[in-house]
Amino acid sequence: MSAAPIRVGVIGLGTVGQGVLRLLKDNAAEIARRVGRPLLVTHAAARDPAKPRDCDLSGVSVVTDPMTVAREADVDIVVELIGGISPARELIEAAVGRGKPVVTANKALLAEDGNRVFAAARRGGVSIAFEAAVAGGIPVIKAIREGLAGNRIERLAGIINGTCNYILTQMQEKGQSFADALRDAQRLGYAEADPTFDIEGLDAAHKLTILASIAFGMPLDAGSVTTEGITRVTPQDIQIAQVFGYRIKLLGIAKRGDAGVELRVHPTLVPETSLLAKVDGVLNSVLVRGNAVGEVGLYGRGAGGDATASAVIADLVDLARGLGADPSHAVPALAFQPDAVQPLPVLPMSAIASAFYLRLKVADEAGVLSKLTAILAAHEISVEAILQREPQGNEDAHVALITSVVRQERFDHALVEMLRLPFVREGAACLRVEKFD
Ligand code: NDP
Ligand code: HSE
């Protein structure tokens, strides 16, 4: 390959940044054959340039000021891998303002401020590529934005946070504690710099924001996703769900109906025979339903240095191939032409129907089940499964049940009445159940 290399500046040499450098080196010949020219990292930035890194930095100028990389005249493409809103946003805006295309894995920035950042890229006549921002190494952005462009997308649902899926799997399969499983996920490089983003569902909400935008052609609006994380999921609920024939997974769900869109992230019971129930550990999966193609499923590693580097480099290859091309011919960042992106009404949770899993702590006395089911029946909610657990040690007795599909509003009215019953000590857990059939 005799053509001059394309010069890449990498801002951030953490889990993903090091993965990118390793993979660019290991697969250099294969990548150059795809691009037509080699990709060479010439500049990089990190907070501590002296820190040992698990990648070869020979020939790379490593600085502490990331803005010098974003503005560097001898860099053709900038890769932003520091995460967070600021200074990542200013760095990307500086790069695109100088006509440099950018690759980023920063879902927090795109979900919170993507409309602004993409507008800056359009002004600069360049693209921002972000395959790594959703579901790690799975090419889900390209699949939805380009591969499904002939469809009206009706729904997508998936496991889109590797850390949470790893924690839930470890709790279920190995009986590991939440805290220990989270520590392992951090050690393995899956978790965000602040892991609250993972376990409170915010990272999944950021990813769902991006997916909904490219699926439905709506502007990015992270605030429109109702979000609940996994911190209140107990080993007991995992075990009872299993008895009922379900697994608990943190799902991101986006559905489009006549009244508006549902955008929600929450722990969900899924039947143990479903595809999503079988997605374990750091693996992610996204199911997309298009009106022509039907159901499409994507599956793979959702976090970690090498898997995420795979997606970053796919974007680098795309941008490298397009260097110097007419920007009006580029694939629109959010799949729809910018002037065709339109807000859609987002439905409140009270209007959303699903089945529910409910666990109540109750006094150990006669008539508990019949009084609970009588309230549900009065609200026209049927019970699909019910289980009563005797008190264990000092613990109260528990009743757990799964309802038929019902709007949350109606379920909430029944729940209020159940919680008023004198033998009910506490509403211990309430989760949605989704079957996707
Ligand atoms: P890390 O925390 O491992 O790495 C961040 C890197 O950025 C570090 O090298 C750090 O320097 C550097 N850095 C941070 N702030 C600055 C600054 N102001 N100036 C210069 N350098 C800075 O993060 P990850 O690699 O895990 O994640 C990077 C991005 O990729 C994030 O947006 C994340 O959400 C996203 N992502 C991560 C995935 C993963 O599996 N980890 C998967 C998909 C996306 P130093 O090392 O010296 O401290
Ligand atoms: N912290 C994220 C996760 C990284 O666990 O899924 C991948 O985006």
Considering the domain boundaries, does residue 47 fall inside one?
A: yes
CA of 287 to the centre of ligand 2 (A): 18
CA of 335 to the centre of ligand 1 (A): 27
Same domain, 252 and 386: no
CA of 221 to the centre of ligand 1 (A): 23
- Is 207 in the active site? yes
Quick check: CB of 81 below 6 Å from ligand 1?
A: yes
Peptide bond into 332 cis (omega under 30): no
Other CB atoms closer than 10 Å to residue 222's CB: what's the count? Answer: 20
Q: What percent of the chain has pLDDT over 90?
A: 95
Q: What is the pTM of this model?
A: 0.97
Nearest CA to ligand 1 atom 17: 47
- Dihedral sign computed on CA atoms, order 338, 341, 342, 345: negative
Same domain, 297 and 364: no
Nearest CA to ligand 2 atom 7: 303
Q: Residues 3-39: pLDDT tens digits? A: 899 999 999 999 999 999 999 999 999 999 999 999 9
Longest dimension (CA), the chain: 84
Distance CA 200, CA 122 (A): 33
Domain of 236 in residue numbering reads as: 145-301
Considering the domain boundaries, does residue 57 fall inside one?
A: yes
Same domain, 25 and 64: yes
Among the three residues 235, 270, 301, which one is the final residue of a domain in this structure?
301
Same domain, 85 and 155: no
Collect all residues with Cβ–Cβ distance below 8 Å to 224 and sequence separation of at least 6. 209, 263, 346
CA of 233 to the centre of ligand 2 (A): 19
Same domain, 125 and 182: no
Considering the domain boundaries, does residue 307 fall inside one?
A: no
Residues with CB under 6 A from ligand 2: 136, 161-163, 190-192, 198, 203, 302-303
Quick check: CB of 14 below 6 Å from ligand 1?
A: yes
Collect all residues with Cβ–Cβ distance below 8 Å to 239 and sequence separation of at least 6. none
Q: Which numbered atom of ligand 2 lies nearest the CA of 204?
A: 6
Q: Which numbered atom of ligand 1 lies nearest the CA of 88?
A: 18
Considering the domain boundaries, does residue 223 fall inside one?
A: yes
Same domain, 103 and 169: no
Same domain, 120 and 159: no
Q: Residues 171-185: pLDDT tens digits? A: 999 999 999 999 999
DSSP three-state, residue 142: helix
Same domain, 243 and 157: yes
Considering the domain boundaries, does residue 74 fall inside one?
A: yes
- Select which of 107, 207, 249, 255 is catalytic: 207
Distance CA 59, CA 4 (A): 16
**CATH code assigned at 418:** 3.30.70.260
Distance CA 103, CA 112 (A): 17
Other CB atoms closer than 10 Å to residue 186's CB: what's the count? Answer: 15
Residues of the chain by 3-state class (helix, strand, coil), percent to 5:
40, 25, 35
Residue whose structure tokens are 């549902």: 262
Q: Residues 268-307: pLDDT tens digits? A: 999 999 999 999 999 999 999 999 999 999 999 999 999 9
Considering the domain boundaries, does residue 334 fall inside one?
A: no
Among the three residues 101, 129, 157, which one is the final residue of a domain in this structure?
129
Domains: count for the chain: 3
Selection from 284, 114, 128 nearest residue 209 by Cα: 114
Collect all residues with Cβ–Cβ distance below 8 Å to 203 and sequence separation of at least 6. 107, 108, 161, 163, 192, 197
Q: Residues 194-234: pLDDT tens digits? A: 999 999 999 999 999 999 999 999 999 999 999 999 999 99
**CATH code assigned at 55:** 3.40.50.720
